[in-house]
Amino acid sequence: MASINEILDQFKQQLAATTKVADVLNLKAQILGKQGALSEILKGLKDATPEQRKTLGAEANVAKTQIEDLVGAKITTLEAAEINETLLKNKADFSLRDAVMEKGLQAAGMHPVTIVQREIEDIFLSMGFEVLDGPHIEDEWHNFEALNIPATHPARDMQDTFWFEDKKHLLRTHTSTIQVRGMKTRKPPFRFVGPGKVFRCERTDASHEMCFHQLEGMMVGEDVSVGHLIYFMKTLLSEIFKRDVEVRLRPGFFPFVEPGFELDIKCLICGGKGCSVCKQVGWVELLPCGMVHPNVLKAGGIDPDKYNGFAFGLGLDRLVMMRYGIDDIRLIHGGDLRFNSQFKTF
Ligand code: DAH
């Protein structure tokens, strides 16, 4: 049987020759794994004298640590090399932009949704919120069940869902899925927003798209009240519209909140007197919100007897359209450069 030193030497030679992380891990398994060379030596110890057992055992342990360290260092080197290679290959030369502009070609601009989304993220970051992301492809549990919308619930009809063939996965119909993922991965108190694309199987027209944007928000703690909700929404909207806005809450139904509200703002065009924008009501419906339903907290692993919270779902496209006077939502994903380049350039 090979000695520990021989094993170690051979390992070092082989390690030097490997160029892939997977091969390094294989090599490690060949030596330290259950049937590995070092393990074989340790198994042989049962027939040795107590003295031999002691020294060989200690040597084997030293060798094991050394192998683990060498493997760790090798993996770090390989990964660094890979990152450097990628960086070299994907180098971007931003000085080119001026050259492009001089030739009269179109330089890239920032998409209006991105502009507004980043602005809102900054407002929330300044109020101590985190910004979270979530997958577009979801399962039924995250999109419905965990949000208190069981299979038999009539609210499932409120959302026309794009299902995958397995009938288990879907394109998320709202960013409320981010609430579920956010709750699962943090402990109260916490507050976060989650912006992103959502998908609904709908006929498109000037105000409906199959893919649009929402920004979800959630705050959970020990004594969160409707007062907090109103405060944060008012601050947000005053920042977005750059003036003091008046808000009001009307009852609204969403299975994941209780009570649920529709939040309206006093019409910014007519100041509440009534005009065509607010359909003569003086108020414009802006965002649905409410106090998080105990079942939703439970699904997120949070004790509803101890904590409560508020949540809201802001429609980003509506805001973008209001801000820039865009009258057809289909322009947002149209990819028409004449549209896209009208907004801020880098
Ligand atoms: N998820 C809802 C939708 O897409 C919007 C919504 C309503 C989100 C109420 C919320 C909320 O967080 O509290 O229609």
Say yes or no: CB of residue 309 within 6 Å of ligand 1. no
pLDDT at res. 175? 98
pLDDT at res. 107? 63
- Is 156 found in the same domain as 47? no
Instruction: Look at residue 127 and tell me if it is in a domain.
Output: yes
Say yes or no: CB of residue 293 within 6 Å of ligand 1. no
- Is 274 found in the same domain as 139? yes
Say yes or no: CB of residue 215 within 6 Å of ligand 1. no
Which residues are bridge partners to 262 per DSSP? Answer: 250, 288
Say yes or no: CB of residue 287 within 6 Å of ligand 1. no
Instruction: Look at residue 100 and tell me if it is in a domain.
Output: no
Total domains in the fold of the chain: 2
Which atom of ligand 1 approaches the CA of 216 most closely?
12
Model pLDDT for residues 301-336, shown as the tens digit of each residue: 999 999 999 999 999 998 898 888 888 899 998 888
Model pLDDT for residues 204-218, shown as the tens digit of each residue: 988 889 999 999 999
Range of the domain at 132: 112-340
How many of the other CB atoms lie within 10 Å of CB of 198? 24
Q: Identify the CATH number of the domain in which residue 252 sits.
A: 3.30.930.10
Which range (124-133, 179-188, 261-270) has the least confidence? 261-270
Instruction: Look at residue 335 and tell me if it is in a domain.
Output: yes
Say yes or no: CB of residue 312 within 6 Å of ligand 1. yes
Which atom of ligand 1 approaches the CA of 289 most closely?
13
First to last CA, the chain: 67
The Cα 186–Cα 190 span in angstroms is 7
Q: pLDDT > 70: what percent of the chain?
A: 97
Tell me phi and psi for residue 192, to 5 degrees: -150, 160
Question: At 341, is the pLDDT very low, low, confident or very high (cuts 50, 70, 90)?
Answer: confident
The Cα 53–Cα 74 span in angstroms is 31
Domain boundary among 89, 124, 158: 89
- Is 330 found in the same domain as 222? yes
Q: Chain-wide mean pLDDT for the chain?
A: 90
Could you tell me whether strands 130-131 and 190-199 are parallel, antiparallel, or unpaired per DSSP bridges? parallel
C-alpha 276 to ligand 1 mean position (Å): 26
Question: At 340, is the pLDDT very low, low, confident or very high (cuts 50, 70, 90)?
Answer: confident
Q: Exposed, middle or buried: residue 5 (CB in 10 Å: 0-12, 13-18, 19+)? A: exposed
- Is 178 found in the same domain as 292? yes
C-alpha 178 to ligand 1 mean position (Å): 11
Beta strands in the chain (DSSP E): 130-131, 137-139, 169-171, 190-199, 211-221, 247-251, 257-266, 283-292, 308-315
Domain boundary among 89, 124, 149: 89
Model pLDDT for residues 31-65, shown as the tens digit of each residue: 888 888 888 888 887 888 888 888 888 888 899 99
Say yes or no: CB of residue 199 within 6 Å of ligand 1. no
- Is 188 found in the same domain as 63? no
Question: At 229, is the pLDDT very low, low, confident or very high (cuts 50, 70, 90)?
Answer: very high
- Is 192 found in the same domain as 79? no
Which residues are bridge partners to 151 per DSSP? Answer: none
Q: Whose CA is nearest to atom 14 of ligand 1?
A: 174
Instruction: Look at residue 99 and tell me if it is in a domain.
Output: no
pLDDT at res. 80? 93
- Is 299 found in the same domain as 171? yes
Look at the pTM and tell me if it is higher than 0.95.
Answer: no
Q: Whose CA is nearest to atom 7 of ligand 1?
A: 288
- Is 32 found in the same domain as 160? no
- Is 204 found in the same domain as 73? no
| Closest among 270, 266, 218 to 245, alpha carbons compared | 266
Q: pLDDT > 90: what percent of the chain?
A: 60
Model pLDDT for residues 242-280, shown as the tens digit of each residue: 888 899 999 999 999 999 999 998 988 888 999 887 889
- Is 306 found in the same domain as 254? yes
Asked if 212 and 197 touch (Cβ cutoff 8 Å), the reply is: yes
- Is 82 found in the same domain as 116? no
Say yes or no: CB of residue 310 within 6 Å of ligand 1. no
Q: Exposed, middle or buried: residue 13 (CB in 10 Å: 0-12, 13-18, 19+)? A: exposed
**Mean pLDDT confidence for 168-184:** 97
pLDDT at res. 345? 60
Instruction: Look at residue 94 and tell me if it is in a domain.
Output: no
Q: Whose CA is nearest to atom 6 of ligand 1?
A: 313
Instruction: Look at residue 291 and tell me if it is in a domain.
Output: yes
Instruction: Look at residue 345 and tell me if it is in a domain.
Output: no
